[in-house]
Structure 1
Amino acid sequence: MELDDAYSNGAYIDGADGYPPRWAAEAAVLRASLGERAKLDIPYGDGERHKFDLFLPEGKPKGLFVFVHGGYWLLFDKSSWSHLAAGALAQGWAVAMPSYDLCPDVSIADITAQIAAAVTRAAQEVEGPISLAGHSAGGHLVARMLDKGLLAPEVGNRLRTVMPISPLSDLRPLMRTSMNEKFKLDEAAAEAESPVLMQDRYEASVTVWVGADERPSFLDQAQWLADAWGCDQKIDPGKHHFDIIDALSDIDSEVVAILTK
């Protein structure tokens, strides 16, 4: 369809096929290294995929960081991303990573509600401030968590920092992709799920993070959100859609500093 190429990432990244197995392998190493500090498959709902992993730092956590994975709401689960907890863990934060149901089995709105349930359940495990980050479709999902209609005030008011990384912030263009056969978005659903159109939001520090070498459509999506919300935007030199998340595993990265400040 008209915008299929505009929203294609892997075709424009050298060695794209090597990233998913590398992510999965590094994630497994991180989980194994934590031993009893890795609390796996905590349920937040009744579905098979309604579970999150909770990784605990040494000592009392300073707060809770929740990372939500991407994959166009069509791919992956929590098991491929555990290594991205390393930076926040080293800064003394607990890290939760949820799985969620995928399209076309459910709608994007259903997934948004699932992430709200996962954040709420994880917040029961860890006291203190909450920071959220998500990548691509996950960037959409963490941005949606600022909607006051999704999280109860006792959770929403704990949000300190939200970082949509290479987010999908306006879903209306996706109606002009072949993926919409699985999303099943119409105009009303796309508008309802577009963070750029959200008005009544919880107060939190928001930084939109995007790679300078991303597809123009993703640079646009990041800019649209930063403009709509009047929030900070960081364009990371030399980074593309797949390696933009690597900084989460680096205790010395600016990304980790923002999320755990």
Structure 2
Amino acid sequence: MPLPGVVVAAARGGGAAEEAAGDSGFEDGIREVLQNLTSVLKTLEETTDAPLRAVLGWLTRRDVGFSSKSDASVQCMPQEIPEEVSLMQLVCAEPTNPGIIQLLDWYHGPREIVIVMELMESSVDLSQFVKMQRSPLSETQVRNIFRQIVKAVQHCHSRGVFHRDIKPKNILIQISTEQIKLIDFGSGTLLHNQEYIRFCGTWLYAPPECVARKSYAAVPTTVWSLGVTLYMILCGHLPFKTSDEIIKYRFNITRDLSEECEDLIRQCLSFSPKWRPTLEDILVHQWLC
């Protein structure tokens, strides 16, 4: 299958001391790495019908570059595979899922990791897509988008990957086709049945148990994030504005929705993780069938 293009995203490690030293050395390092990529990029250009475009993102502790992260620092020793790369290798192995951004290659630079990914042509993140619309998205439109998201997340779990940061900004959507791709595995980890202690992700998409600094399980946490995402793309804003509202469980559905749609949102946003549906339950819910 011809590749629509290539994205090159660079993530660097190091802390405040390195940041204080300035970005010039980092940029020089990136140039060196990209020079080493020339032959690879030329090969990719020869094997694709679409124009090849390389987008370089500097992912620091600030929200800069290709994807937005609260903490995108990379901790790895030379020649070790960074966790974000290893997770992408798992989810991108054959057979692939069309709802996952594909990893093409990755490289160690002097002080950074360069990740080469496919480029989704004419796409924006899902939050931008919602803002671009002159009127709220229809339930039919959202149903198609949300089903793709759930299937992409289900694929991640089937490969033993817990994304941990499901939100509209981490979902690309092609404007013409409304095909989605899940991106940014920087907060992810391996999926297991035990509860997790340390939270990574975006707080306003986190369930009460995470906000209360308690242990949390992968599937209920993911389902809550999906519920917040579904609410946001339907209503145009988040159900909770602060962590305190999440803890006190204060939210209202501010749009007139079908009974089935509202039921799915409320199930996903159940206060107790035991009450939330599984991914399989969501896919057979009456609103998605």
TM-score w.r.t. length of structure 1:
0.27
Higher fraction of strand: 1
TM superposition score normalised by structure 2: 0.25
The structure whose RCO (Cα within 8 Å, separation 6+) is larger is: 1
- Give the number of the structure whose alpha-carbon radius of gyration is greater: 2
